[in-house]
Structure 1
Amino acid sequence: MKWYKKLMAGVLAATLITAVVPSATTQAASLSGRIVINGSSALLPLTLQAANEFKKANPRVRISASAAGSVTGPQAVRKGIADIGACDWDASTNVPGFAKFDGQVANKVAVIPFAAVVNKSTGVDNLSTKQLQDIFSGKVTNWKSVGGKDADIIVVNRSFGSGTRVNFQLKALEGKDFMSKGSNYKEVKSSGDMKTAVETTPNAIGYIDLAYVTDKMTAVKVNNVAPSEANVINGSYKVWSYGYYMTKGAPTGATKAFIDYVQSKKFQNGSLRKLKFIPISAMK
């Protein structure tokens, strides 16, 4: 009978532990709410992938995401119409052209490599900083001047408020101004629009983050350095930024759980990397 009493005592203890400590499945099932995300189109592929994965584990959480440019993210958070503002700069601090958004917290979620991209027709795969400055300012107007074929250059730019534009101007053009009009100038609103414009417009040049680069365009080297993960990490390629999820104060509830998932090793070293972003832990 002693062995029976010991067995029953063990069963009772296990029952009590199970009752007191909920399983991970139970915790996930209990998480509920709605998360609205707005802002950076550069970060949109990452956001959509993370949302799909997070919702599978947390079916009672609804997530909606849209992208109209980085500045619209913290603006939407300030107005109370978004829980997360995706932004290609830390919007809690002042940056050239944009004042800080007081009361917002910058949650770092990714490293974003950006690249100058050209239509396959140009015959160009490497440009110097000076050549990029001359092309995007309108000083150089023919591909022949920079080693390509004899054809007019079509410059495609992002509209004001784009985080990709902010970073490309600061880091690829070293702060030099863009041209803003002309028969060889186009302006687009999102990374998706930039991708389509460069792919389909002969002799076009633009810029985009690596998540959108396809085999229908060429991501050019800058000063003979390719826009690759390895070159960003080793410091030889400079055109990159951190991506942030801006929140009104410290995130809580489902919003915090979602951001924690995006920052987790599982996502950072898995889906994030497959989408051509770089884990934040990779940068020293």
Structure 2
Amino acid sequence: MKTKWFKGLAFAAIALTVAFGSITSVASASSKLSGRIVVNGSSALLPLTLQAKNEFQKLNPKVKISASAAGSVTGPQSVRKGIADIGACDWDASLDVPGFKAFTGLVANKVAVTPFAAITNSNVGVSSLTTAQLQGIFSGKISNWKDVGGKDADIIVINRAFGSGTRVNFQVKALNGTDYMTKGDNYKEVKSSGDMKTAIETTPNAIGYIDLVYVTSKMTALKINNVAPTAANVINGSYKVWGYGYYMTKGQPTGAVKAFIEYIQSAKFQNGSLKKLKFIPLSAMKK
């Protein structure tokens, strides 16, 4: 009996040692990663970046990450100038897009699928607009809500400033390339997604656009052509106003930068924190 008991105890001790050794090995491997990562660019992607930063730094305490957002175009610009290691951008900045030439030498790393929505102040009372109606509103040709089924009130157009990736995506995918109005008593530009959120929430009769992570109960996310801006509708192909979010790097990423990007691209983060933030996992989209 003592022999069996001793063998059982010895086996348990060996198992514990192996398990502890594995944990120690993983912790050791993580702790070897060190350095500083600077991320700049898209305000649409900022909530994702900040969440990933918090999680990644807990696993890799010797890596320090700082993140700021001044619009998508500042991302690749900062990487090209050597100010940032990662340029968060709402388009593939290694290619030409309307209004912007390609940033040669930069590599586009996909990190998320971002749905965008047309939004109004909660007092507007309109829940759905057609593509033609959106084109008319954002070009300034339609200036009163009564012309699109709402009340008799002037439409206040809130636009993102030039250089915004959300602006690029909305113009191409919601307005089919129609030009924005650029001035007028009922026209205003804001610099970031956070500024857009505040402006729409506090400006009666206002309309703008934003990515889903910023949508609140103080605004209405409009249906477009009677299709709601939901993850399910993006995935099934019925809602078209979405884009990939990219982390632009100077050449292929290496070291801590590579590890951080791979963490965001991992199934754990994509199907966990990323989905909770109303982004869509890369794996959900058809190739």
Aligned to 1:220: 222
The one of 159, 162, 184 aligned to 1:160? 162
Question: 1:175: how far off?
Answer: 0.1
TM-score of the two chains, using structure 1 as the length reference: 0.93
Taking the aligned partners of 1:278 and 1:195, their CA distance within structure 2 comes to 20
Taking the aligned partners of 2:96 and 2:180, their CA distance within structure 1 comes to 21
Aligned to 1:146: 148
Corresponding residue pairs, total: 274
The one of 110, 113, 128 aligned to 1:111? 113
Deviation sequence 1:33-86 (CA, Å, 0-9, x none): 000000000000000000000011111110000000000000000000100000
Question: 1:22: how far off?
Answer: 6.7
- Root mean square deviation of aligned Cα: 1.9
Taking the aligned partners of 1:24 and 1:218, their CA distance within structure 2 comes to 46
Secondary structure, counterpart of 1:122 in structure 2? coil
Aligned to 2:138: 136
Aligned to 1:245: 247
Taking the aligned partners of 1:67 and 1:52, their CA distance within structure 2 comes to 17
Question: 1:29: how far off?
Answer: 1.1
TM-score of the two chains, using structure 2 as the length reference: 0.92
Unaligned runs of 5+ in 1: none
The one of 58, 63, 66 aligned to 2:65? 63
Question: 1:149: how far off?
Answer: 1.0
Taking the aligned partners of 2:105 and 2:283, their CA distance within structure 1 comes to 26
What is the correspondence of 1:1-284 to structure 2 with a 5 Å cutoff?
23-284=25-286
Taking the aligned partners of 1:246 and 1:238, their CA distance within structure 2 comes to 24
Question: 1:273: how far off?
Answer: 0.2
Taking the aligned partners of 1:144 and 1:275, their CA distance within structure 2 comes to 34
Deviation sequence 1:193-230 (CA, Å, 0-9, x none): 00000000000000000000000000000000000000
* Residue type at the aligned position of 2:117: A
Secondary structure, counterpart of 1:23 in structure 2? helix
